[in-house]
Structure 1
Amino acid sequence: MKNGKAPTKKQKIAIKEVGLNPNNWLVSKNLQEELHIVHRETGRLKVIPG
């Protein structure tokens, strides 16, 4: 898996809407219909529908 990137402002808003803290998550894939994020410390993967 590639290294995650810091989320943009729009991505941070999407992460907040799901109830997660955007400071703890990195974006690994940014697809049109999904946002794949990885936790900074644990490496846990989550998919946010778009």
Structure 2
Amino acid sequence: MKRLKRGRKPTVAECNHIKSFNLIPANWFISKKMKDRWMIVHREFGKPKVLPAP
């Protein structure tokens, strides 16, 4: 399995978008931001999740 990049801390606007999916932004890193979707990675478990971009 390919390892993902660790990611970076989300900004306030990104936190609001993550909150809209009933997720806790403090638990997630932004790994990749593409035009149509974001890849976020859980801080503790490293599990990736894909969200549609705002």
Give the TM-score of the pair, scaled to structure 1.
Answer: 0.91
Partner of 2:36: 33
Q: Which amino acid aligns with 1:18?
A: F
The offset of 1:9, in angstroms, is 1.1
Give the root-mean-square deviation of aligned CA atoms.
0.8
Q: Percent identity?
A: 42
Q: CA deviation at 1:47?
A: 0.4
| Ranges in structure 1 where 5+ consecutive residues have no aligned partner | none
| Counterpart pick for 2:11 among 2, 8, 12 | 8
TM-score (ref. length: structure 2):
0.85
Would you identify which runs of 4 or more consecutive aligned residues in structure 1 move more than 6 Å?
none
Q: CA deviation at 1:15?
A: 0.4
1:39 Cα offset (Å) = 0.2
